[in-house]
Structure 1
Amino acid sequence: MTEKPRALVFWRLFALLYDAFPVIALWFVASLTFTLAYTFGGHHDAHQNIAPFSPLQWLLWGVCWTMAGLYAVLSWRRGGQTLGMRPWRLRVVGADGGRPSWRASWIRYAVGSLSLCAAGLGFWWAWVDRDRLTWHDRASGTRMIREAKR
């Protein structure tokens, strides 16, 4: 059996760019919810803005990170693809070639997030890795493959 080709760095980045749109839409919903709750919670005065690093701000960041994670993990578990991966024919598979586990998917998402925070270093690592794997591929035991055209 021939092995499916690994997804190159640029295909991954294109998919990530496409996936930014639905994720940003989810973040808008979360931010709107927080803004409405804050406004209707009696904080009408413009001088009572949410401080940049207040507990409420950290909670919003946590909610946004979790919403993006749910989008990614549920997509990977359901069919191996997010919306951004479909046009580029990319699919996340487990070590056995099947559907990735819940644990592996969350590890993949968490390490991928750290990789992005490190200026994408974990993605660029695929250029020097002998198997063309990123940090989150290695950490989670999953792989991203590029499927052939139909």
Structure 2
Amino acid sequence: MSSIETTSAAPIERPGLARRMAAFMYEGVLLFGVVFVAGYFFSAMTQQRHAMQGQHALQAFLFAVLGIYFAWFWSRGGQTVAMKAWHIRVVDRQGLALSQARALARYVLSYLWFVPALLSAWAAGLHSTGAIMGALLAGIAAYALLALLLPQKQFLHDVLCGTQLITQLPVKRERKHALKNAR
């Protein structure tokens, strides 16, 4: 499965911003489980006794685990679980599957969703959780709206690493179709 599965004359359909954001939110819910299991594994392996003990090592470990998660799914089929649920697939500019290197580059560049807002909160001296979360949510909204100004309404990290999100509807299986017609 190295290229986009489309009918011969069908143009590439791109998902709208609302659907991409819904997939983004669903991905966050699913990642809660991944982060929970990885954090538990890390604390068991390092015999962590306190939440602040090894905090930076845990953050680096979770960054690596999430990188493996996304690079694995994006380079093997182009869809995470949330992307499958919302019929979204990531491909390169030519419509081909991502290499692991491009998938990793997309993962690293996807932190553009968060880093500018967090740096702004740090520069403004924000310390309360509410203020930091507010800055983070405002940054995420600004980043999402930036897509409306970019070519083909892509996210900035997709433009920078040469990828694009497309609509990937499930392929109908002939067997199910044949069973329906037999009745």
Task: State the TM-score, normalizing by the size of structure 2.
Answer: 0.67
1:4 to 12, 16, 38: 12
Check whether the contact 2:78–2:90 (CA below 8 A) recurs between aligned residues: yes
Provide structure 1 residue ranges, at least 5 long, that are not aligned to the other structure.
44-48
**CA–CA distance in 1 between the matches of 2:11 and 2:98?**
17
Count residues with an aligned counterpart: 140
Structure of larger gyration radius: 2
1:33 to 22, 31, 41: 41
2:92 to 84, 91, 94: 94
**CA–CA distance in 2 between the matches of 1:8 and 1:65?**
28
Distance 1:90 1:114, change over 3 A: same
**CA–CA distance in 1 between the matches of 2:81 and 2:148?**
25
RMSD after superposition: 2.2
1:138 to 159, 164, 178: 159
Structure with more contact order per residue of length (Cα contacts < 8 Å, sep ≥ 6):
1
Among the aligned pairs, what percent are the same residue?
25
Deviations 1:98-140 (A, max 9, x none): 1012221111111112223332243321111132111111111
**CA–CA distance in 2 between the matches of 1:133 and 1:19?**
18
CA drift of 1:148 comes to 4.7
Match of 1:112? 110
Could you list the runs of 4 or more consecutive aligned residues of structure 1 that deviate by over 4 angstroms after TM superposition? none
CA drift of 1:73 comes to 1.3
SS at match of 1:6: coil
Provide structure 2 residue ranges, at least 5 long, that are not aligned to the other structure.
1-8, 118-138, 173-183
SS at match of 1:85: helix
